[in-house]
Every structure is written in C-alpha cells, then in structure tokens.
Amino acid sequence: MKYNKSGFSFLAKIVSALLLLVCMSGLTGNSFASGGSGSGGGGSGGGGVQVDSVKVTKCYCNSAGQMLIKAASSDPTARLYAYRPDGTYIGEVQNGGGSRYGGTVMPWQPYDPIYVTIISSSGGSITVPTTPFQI
C-alpha cells in the first residue's frame, strides 16, 4: 500500500478545523449568570441570541432541609429549574409566583447547598447564595 502524503495532510487539516470549532463552541457555552443586562448599542451588529433575565428574591434554607425559592424570569413563559453547585437537580421553581408561602417549597435537601443556580428554559441563569429562613 502506497502512503499518500497529500491525503493525510488534507485529513489532518479537516480534523484540526473541527477540533478548533468544538473547542471554541465550548468556551461560550457555560456561564454563571446571564440575561437582560447590557446596553442596547448601535444597530448594525449581527444580533446574538436573546436570553431572559432571572431574578431571585428568596432562597431560604434551614438545617432541617427545608428550602424555599422565589424567582421570576423576564419571559413569563419560561420554566425555571434549580440546581446545587455540584449539578444535582433540586426541582422546578414557579416563575414569578409562589405558593401560599411566598415562593416555591422545594424538596427536602440533605444539606444546605450554600449556593443555588436557577436556569431558565429561555437561556438565562443566575447563581445566588442561600440564606436562613426569615419571617
């Protein structure tokens, strides 16, 4: 079998380009907070993807494992999901509303996660600290 140097070079360029593309897309995929801040700016720049902004007004946790979260999205149709810092799913948070307790009562937590990340189905997210219950 004859070794085809030009074919190998072409294949190496294709693989390198694909690897670069994958690496570049990974750099922009993760963020700790995103959403509706920033200036409107001039008009002709190629529009990026618009995401909603998420606001959390309560994120209470106590030593008994009880958690209450009140959050709202700028997109009223968005669904909000809560996660621990290790990526463990806590549960869905009502968007803008809350039960009779002034927020969404979450499932029992084995420990206070210290921080909770709320991710919106419309692309926004925010990470907030937990605080003790306040009356």
For residue range 24-80, what is the model confidence (pLDDT) as tens digits?
A: 444 333 334 444 444 444 445 556 778 999 999 999 999 999 999 999 999 999 999
Edge-to-edge, what's the strand order for the sheet holding 54-61?
Answer: 54-61, 67-73, 104-106
- Looking at residue 99, the DSSP 8-state letter turns out to be -
What's the Rg (C-alpha) of the chain? 22
Domains and CATH numbers, the chain: 54-129 (2.60.40)
Phi, psi (rounded to 5 degrees) for 67: -140, 140
pLDDT the model gives residue 42: 47
User: Worst-scoring range by mean pLDDT, 6-15, 75-84, 87-96?
Assistant: 6-15
Pair of tokens at residue 121: 């189905």
Cα gap 42→104, rounded to integer Å: 40
pTM, whole model, 2 decimals?
0.63
The residue written with tokens 């294949």 in the block is 11
- The CA–CA distances, whole Å, from 35 to 54, 65, 102, 124 equal 7, 30, 24, 5
